[in-house]
Chains A and B, each alone.
Chain A
């Protein structure tokens, strides 16, 4: 349990979600963590405080969450894969600099272990109310990538995916965990590293004529390795390909268009979900995070009663899988969205189904789990 040294060996472990996120970060190549303590994310920082030094990495406890995210932006510019972890109140403080990382195109991973909010809410209890904040929390037009685990194994797998996507797209990636998954222990199978694809950022090769923000055909500019003679210009101000600030609306248009398109046009490389018994379904239950565990059980219970109901678990929350929902909406009559908030993904399903299906919400406002019989009750009510 405690005796790990160096890289974690392939095999089976009984870990909490927070343990799994910390170990997966190391597995994915994270070598810099900065954070400020907050329940229910603390075990990530605690574990990395002794695990990172074992693998030659750096752990820093910063003075607050703003400093934490800015320092991982700096560390990433310096060449290290970097991560922070927090919960709702800290996530709010990080919003401005999530925008900075989007604009500067810095790969970082932010773990938000959601708890019941708003404000300090119930620090020790489950919530899933930061889902829309992950999308819209910083100002201005931008796209973000956010992933949500429903099992401890997924906490491990999606953390690796988060680092891969952040490196591939040069963008911040948010892991929307929640208190349920993070504090719960479950089996994790750590794979052989040779069986896992680890993506590292694309680096510029030639300092001569290097332009900080000249993108390749994949819409992602190669990053300059520091200390090798590259001249780098980077800013949160609107900038041209050289990285020079500009107040020209056309420069703004070109830049923002590319920042949006590098994610929108390559959504198929990002979106991940699990579809279960949807082939003949009249009703599809959509869920994610801890709530998805009870939602899937409810679908099994309803199937036993002969109700044609399917299950869609979202692993990628943002970008939202509009096309997946729309295709289902052509076939199914009703969606039920199970989530521990006031209906933040319910409205996305409504939007993406374009009026073709009725959409219902089942859940609570945080502080406790959703139980399978609650979701079943909703299925029986709307069928």
Chain B
């Protein structure tokens, strides 16, 4: 087998060749791309759980999801909703990449999935039953079997029948999608894996909605990042999975390349359980730019974490200005369209960044009225714009001070030498 060589060596270039998405604005890469261009907002009344008694009851749910369309081998009833999302998005991404599943099974694969809540929605259902029936009632073992978060990656590997696989789930809360993409990037660029299926997934769940409601962070209507009248976030669900491989591998098999993954950075505030730390967030972006070998003035667009909460948007804007100076690149918050899909958020952000680079447009920050004077950035309000993008930075910030930024670049075919 390929034992790693012990000398230092130059890394491989890594490209994105497949995208699978489930989101409140569309499922599948085509629908998702049009929705980003149109500036669609996926907010609506939550139907996944009973919202009686909550003050605000809107969220972003995935519509029209038929798990059996994507999951062919595993018994669907053994998988929680977040796991079903992950498997479906992974298969979409594989198909989008034009990969033959039999050939894929012969490769060394890294499957890294980020999630905030894992299958917490299933635990909510178990707790509802326990409250109704009494705590002495034994746990439903079918539901209990869905809970462990590593199912998200393991089910992908089992469904796609990947024998040489490293299935990893990263529970780094709302930055988890970027953590996962970074891990796949490292696995491919070092040659540890031939291919990586990476991203994030979460299903909307009552307990997290309850928590954000209690913290007063849920918006009464829609999410308005960087807006003077923003009230907060809307929780959401979704999944985003990217296929990563080396540039050489993509060229050899004639794959369509959406974008090049140039680098990433990750760090920890080590400061506060929930409040972001400006200098640490700035440091994270700087680490990512350094890893990518990109200067701050070469960045054309920032896909912000942009939750639409009062604190996040001010802190993040200041961190962006700390890194990029007084004329920062255009900075959009996709959560206005997508809601806050937790562990999926930065994965969907990376997918959108790759599509923006490939198709030459900037997706807008929708629901926008008046920019908060404390958020001094051009958030590309309400309407997408055509743009000649070369480099995009995609941010993910999380409770626990877990930050990760991913840098993507436009792929251009070089003339053969």
- Do these two chains really belong together in a complex? no
User: A residues within 8 Å of B by Cβ?
Assistant: none
